[in-house]
Amino acid sequence: MDTQTVELVRKGALVVEKKYNLSYEEFAEKHLFGNYPVVIGDACAAWSAKNKFTPEFFKEHYSDREVEIAGKKYTLGEYIDWMLTGTEENPAPYPCTLQIERDYPELLNDVLPRFKYALPDRIQSKLLPKRFLSGANTLEIFFGSPGAQFPYVHYDYMSLHAYITQLYGEKEFTVIPPDQTPYVYPRPDNLWVSQVDDVWNPDLEKYPLFAKTTPIKFVVGPGETLFIPCGWWHTARSLTPTISVALDCLNDSNWKNFMSEVDVNMQQRRPKLAGAVQTYLSVVGSVLGTVEKMA
Ligand X SMILES: O=C(O)CCC(=O)C(=O)O
Q: How many residues bind ligand X (CB under 6 A)?
A: 11
Alpha-carbon distance 250 to 161, whole Å?
7
The interface partner of residue 248, options being Fe ion, ligand X, none and the CB cut-off 5 to 8 Å by kind, is none
Q: Which distant-in-sequence residues (6+ apart) come within 8 Å of 78 by Cβ? A: none
3-state DSSP assignment of residue 38: strand
137-196: contacts with ligand X (CB under 6 A): 142, 150, 156, 162, 164, 171
Residue among 61, 71, 66, 63 at smallest CA distance from 98: 66
Question: Which residue's CB atom is positioned nearest to ligand X?
Answer: 236
The interface partner of residue 158, options being ligand X, Fe ion, none and the CB cut-off 5 to 8 Å by kind, is none
The beta strands (E) that lie in 91-189 are given as 96-99, 139-144, 161-168, 171-176, 186-187
Asked if 156 is part of the footprint of Fe ion (rule: CB under 5 A), the reply reads yes
Smallest gap from Cβ 4 to ligand X, in A, equals 25
Q: Which distant-in-sequence residues (6+ apart) come within 8 Å of 64 by Cβ? A: 75, 76, 77
Alpha-carbon distance 53 to 243, whole Å?
7
Smallest gap from Cβ 61 to Fe ion, in A, equals 27
Residue among 68, 69, 140, 54 at smallest CA distance from 104: 140
Smallest gap from Cβ 2 to ligand X, in A, equals 25
Smallest gap from Cβ 194 to ligand X, in A, equals 12
Identified binder of ligand X from the candidate list 95, 120, 169, 285, rule CB under 6 A: 95
Question: Which residue's CB atom is positioned nearest to Fe ion?
Answer: 156
- Residues interacting with ligand X, by CB under 6 A? 95, 142, 150, 156, 162, 164, 171, 234, 236, 244, 246
Which chain residues interact with Fe ion by CB under 5 A?
A: 156
